[in-house]
Structure 1
Amino acid sequence: MGPDLSGSNRKNLDYLLENAIDPSATVGADFRTVVIAMEDGRVLNGVVSQMNERTLTLQSAQEAITIDRQEIEAMKTSQVSLMPEGQLQKLTDEETRDLVAYLMSSVQAPLPPE
């Protein structure tokens, strides 16, 4: 779950590194996490993918949930990115170079079959 990278500033190394090292530094409005407290005590979080007068659709990493807006007790937008911090720390130097090279290239890897 994330933005289409084909239109982003992929050729700018500083841009890529800033977003990989500190993903919460600049979070686009379409990708801000929303934390929702429901009247029944549940707490949900994800990105609002659709909203109208009656319902709100929340996209989490696992699923899309449509919620009746009248059942929402409170809703708060977070400034924290959905992309976890420290992702590059898990990679070797070679894996990091490969990732940056891929992100900066104009080639799209084939998508897996649905």
Structure 2
Amino acid sequence: MTPEEIMKAVLFFLTVAGAGWGIWWKIDSRVKEGEKSTQGRVREAEEKAERIAADLAAHQLHVAVTYATKQGMQEQTAQLLRAIEGVGNRIDGLHERLDRAFERTTGRTTRSG
């Protein structure tokens, strides 16, 4: 091999290596940009998740304070049933009073007639 052929071979390999390095450099820079944007997205997602968790905790507190519990509902139902029972007792008493009133009026009309 002559020195010119050796020089051409070395230049060829240097050109190929340089092209490979240039391609690798572009790929590496794009990967780093992707990592930076991904880190930003991850940070945004974490902040959003924290806000949502805080909103959920506030909503759970609101529901616990505002809405009825099972025990509260049982107490309200018991009060309503007692009130309905009281109204039923009054209606039963009214029937007895009406029966007595009709017996008195029927008894008077038959005696005087």
> Which TM-score band (shorter chain)?
under 0.3
Quick one: higher RCO (CA 8 Å, sep 6+), 1 or 2? 1
Q: Which protein is richer in strand relative to its size?
A: 1
Q: Which protein is richer in helix relative to its size?
A: 2
TM (norm. structure 1) is 0.16
TM (norm. structure 2) is 0.16
